């Protein structure tokens, strides 16, 4: 039996002896032993001592409590001194019982494990601490997973020295621990949030040095914009993400002055995580509007003048965000709203206020769809039929197909009754069409963008370098699509690749070819080309926000998108922007408001 995988080990100190594997004798704690068991197995051991818990963490705590209570039954004064030893013996008793159940186990020793992980990191060019890439290689070697054919061009200078590699490895281990705290282990504790701040403070001096060094490389070494994706392998890329993650605990602890300082430093550099710049501008402006007036010197200003001073600073921040070419359009809507709010608060004359009328986003047609809503017992029902528990998916009756469903499926059935075909794909159709139509361009040869044979996309796809590096090929393809060539391109790719179904980004092979052909027959060529151009220019930023439902009507030769909202929902900025793009391309978009005409209790 193999031991359960562990978190990334700390840096290994090599000694005079070497062994490839550790045996069962290396398991010395109850925590390690319990990690070998399935939840049901651990419950069986806990049941023997009447310990209870819903998960492994609770069961382990209950077992320890049982150990202490068993030891605590001894009242002889001479034996009280040995309570600690008795507790340890009790732990050892459980440990032996567990190991008797599991049988002999082995695991890689820390030394070989560390070496293997480092080789894997260098070969696979991983930018995060994960075992998924290793799984990918194994499946590919077993012919269980196919990848597109392309020319691999490995860059020898990604890690310029062993020291750089080791620092990058240490950085992604640190990033792994930060992500574990914030994303994978439930609500973070005060201690764990403070730990993130401490980590960020420790790496801060090194980060500032590396940012300056990377700027020098950008100015003198990198060519053709390759730094946009090669710098992802710099420790500074990882450090920037860790420092960004530290903004959350700083805000939680109301350390707004320090948070503002960090935001200023993040915005001062333009090489790392440029896609986050809009969010940094938003947060910086919010702090300046609401908090900074009370946290900084007044320089003799009254409280009222101090507030106005910082509101003007916030206004300037918003203006800088709108002028920053690296601040994505997604964030402009929020910055524009804050500018108008600040100008009203500062009582600017009308002629001095910004007018964003020329960039107002198009609004979709609104439609109300009524259905039968299901309420679970114990869920309070309000007059509008909304569940009081926020974030809980609503349950509806699918009156067309029968049975229960989510609100998107209920609305999709309504459209089908009106003669439409469709999918609840949330962008899956758009990404699949783009992958089909640009398959050969995605995997054409460009230096350095294919570092291994196991990639689903070129490294520069999520940067602003992708489009200009292939401008001639992309523009030629857009002309083909405009002139009605989409069906031919899709059929050619399907005939060539469907037998092996290679893993290509965005391409969902589960969509039927006949449906895809009907869809491009219903799409106006210029409209489809416009959407594809947006995807080619900004693939990363366009990953979310596409309306829930994709619909087409073969008789009317038209397509339609529909975003489904319940009564208390509102559109996000990314959704507003996609709706604006689709309407601008001449594609119909509807905003469906789901309303319960009947509520049934279960």
Cα(306)–Cα(447) distance, integer angstroms: 54
Cα(118)–Cα(111) distance, integer angstroms: 11
Crossing angle for the helix pair 573-584 and 525-537, to the nearest 10 degrees: 140
Q: In what order do the strands lie in the sheet with 404-405?
A: 404-405, 395-397, 365-375, 588-601, 558-565, 549-553, 421-424
Contact residues for 489 (Cβ-Cβ < 8 A; gap 6+)? 436, 437, 477, 480, 481
Question: Do 431 and 506 meet the contact criterion of CB atoms below 8 Å apart?
Answer: yes
Question: Do 534 and 433 meet the contact criterion of CB atoms below 8 Å apart?
Answer: no
Distances (CA, A) of 396 to 70, 416, 426: 52, 16, 19
Q: Tokens standing for 437? A: 């139509």
Cα(294)–Cα(311) distance, integer angstroms: 12
pLDDT for res 71: 47
Cα(496)–Cα(484) distance, integer angstroms: 20
pLDDT for res 17: 65
Distances (CA, A) of 260 to 209, 253, 254, 257, 537: 20, 13, 11, 5, 32
pLDDT for res 72: 45
Other CB atoms within 10 A of residue 472 CB: 8
> Residue 254 gets which letter from DSSP?
T
Cα(1)–Cα(221) distance, integer angstroms: 51
User: 258-290: string of b/e by CB count within 10 Å (b at 16+)?
Assistant: ebbebbebbbebebbbbbbbbbbbbbbbbbbbe
Dihedral angle over CA of 132, 137, 142, 147, nearest 10:
100
**pTM exceeds 0.85:** no
Cα(259)–Cα(249) distance, integer angstroms: 9
Other CB atoms within 10 A of residue 117 CB: 20
pLDDT for res 9: 42
Cα(286)–Cα(272) distance, integer angstroms: 22
pLDDT < 70 regions, the chain: 1-17, 66-91, 130-134, 221-228, 359, 377-392, 567-568
pLDDT for res 209: 95
Q: Tokens standing for 205? A: 């001096």
pLDDT for res 200: 95
- In DSSP terms, 381 is beta-bridged to 387
| Phi-psi sector, 123: left (phi>0), alpha (psi -120 to 50), beta | alpha
Beta-strand relationship, 21-22 and 395-397: unpaired
pLDDT for res 512: 95
Q: What is the DSSP string of 494-525?
A: HHHHTTT----TT--TTS-HHHHHHHHHHS-H
pLDDT for res 374: 86
Phi/psi of residue 37, nearest 5 degrees: -100, 150
Question: Do 364 and 579 meet the contact criterion of CB atoms below 8 Å apart?
Answer: yes
Interval 117-161: pLDDT, tens: 888 888 877 777 766 666 777 777 777 789 999 999 888 778 888
Interval 73-92: pLDDT, tens: 444 444 444 544 555 556 67
pLDDT for res 257: 96
pLDDT for res 338: 94
Distances (CA, A) of 169 to 9, 166, 241: 11, 5, 15
């Amino acid at each position: 039996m193999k031991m359960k995988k562990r978190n990334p080990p700390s840096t290994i100190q090599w000694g005079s002896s070497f062994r490839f594997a550790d045996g069962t004798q290396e398991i010395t704690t109850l925590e390690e032993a319990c990690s070998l068991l399935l939840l049901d197995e651990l419950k069986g051991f806990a049941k023997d001592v009447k310990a209870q818990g819903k998960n492994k963490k609770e069961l382990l705590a209950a077992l320890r409590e049982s150990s202490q209570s068993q030891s605590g039954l001894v009242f002889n004064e001479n034996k009280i001194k040995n309570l600690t030893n008795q507790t340890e013996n009790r732990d050892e008793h459980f440990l032996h019982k567990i190991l008797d159940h599991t049988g002999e186990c082995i695991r890689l020793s820390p030394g070989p494990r560390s070496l293997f992980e480092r080789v894997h990191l260098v070969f696979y060019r991983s930018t995060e601490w994960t075992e998924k890439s290793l799984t990918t290689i194994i499946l590919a070697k077993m012919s269980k997973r196919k990848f597109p054919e392309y020319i691999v061009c490995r860059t020898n200078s990604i890690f310029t020295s062993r020291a750089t590699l080791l620092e990058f490895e240490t950085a992604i281990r640190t990033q792994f621990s930060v992500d574990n705290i914030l994303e994978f282990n439930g609500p973070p504790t005060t201690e764990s949030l403070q730990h993130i701040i401490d980590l960020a403070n420790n790496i801060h001096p090194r980060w500032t040095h590396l940012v300056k060094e990377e700027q020098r490389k950008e100015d003198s070494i990198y060519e053709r914009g390759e730094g946009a994706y090669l710098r992802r392998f710099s420790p500074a890329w990882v450090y920037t993400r860790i420092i960004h993650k530290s903004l959350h605990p700083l805000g939680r602890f109301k350390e707004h002055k320090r948070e503002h300082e960090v935001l200023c430093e993040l915005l001062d550099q333009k090489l790392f995580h440029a896609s986050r710049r809009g969010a940094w501008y938003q947060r910086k402006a919010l702090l300046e509007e609401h908090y900074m007036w009370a946290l900084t010197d007044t320089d003799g200003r009254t409280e009222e003048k101090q507030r106005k001073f910082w509101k003007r600073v916030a206004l300037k921040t918003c203006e800088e965000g709108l002028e920053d070419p690296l601040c994505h359009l997604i964030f402009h809507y929020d910055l524009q709203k804050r500018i108008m709010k600040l100008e009203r608060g500062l009582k600017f004359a009308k002629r001095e206020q910004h007018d964003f009328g020329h960039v107002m986003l198009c609004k979709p047609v609104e439609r109300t769809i009524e259905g039968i809503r299901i309420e679970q017992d114990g869920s309070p029902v309000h007059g509008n039929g909304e569940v009081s528990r926020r974030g809980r998916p609503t349950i509806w009756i699918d009156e067309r197909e029968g049975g229960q469903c989510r609100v998107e499926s209920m609305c999709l059935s309504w459209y089908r009754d009106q003669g439409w075909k469709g999918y609840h794909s949330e962008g899956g159709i758009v990404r699949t069409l783009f992958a089909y139509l640009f398959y050969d361009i995605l995997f054409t040869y460009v230096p350095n963008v294919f570092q291994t044979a196991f990639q689903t996309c070129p490294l520069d796809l999520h940067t602003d370098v992708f489009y200009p590096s292939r401008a001639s090929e992309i523009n030629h393809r857009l002309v083909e699509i405009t002139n009605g060539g989409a069906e031919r391109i899709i059929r050619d790719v399907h005939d060539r690749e469907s037998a092996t179904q290679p893993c290509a980004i965005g391409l969902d092979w589960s969509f039927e070819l006949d449906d895809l052909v009907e869809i491009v027959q219903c799409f106006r060529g210029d409209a489809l080309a416009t959407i594809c151009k947006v995807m080619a220019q900004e693939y990363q930023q366009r990953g979310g926000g596409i309306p829930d439902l994709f619909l087409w009507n073969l008789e009317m030769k038209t397509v339609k998108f529909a975003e489904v909202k319940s009564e208390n929902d509102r559109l996000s900025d990314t959704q507003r922007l996609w709706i604006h793009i689709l309407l601008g391309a001449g594609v119909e978009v509807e905003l469906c408001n789901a309303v319960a005409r009947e509520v049934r209790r279960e």
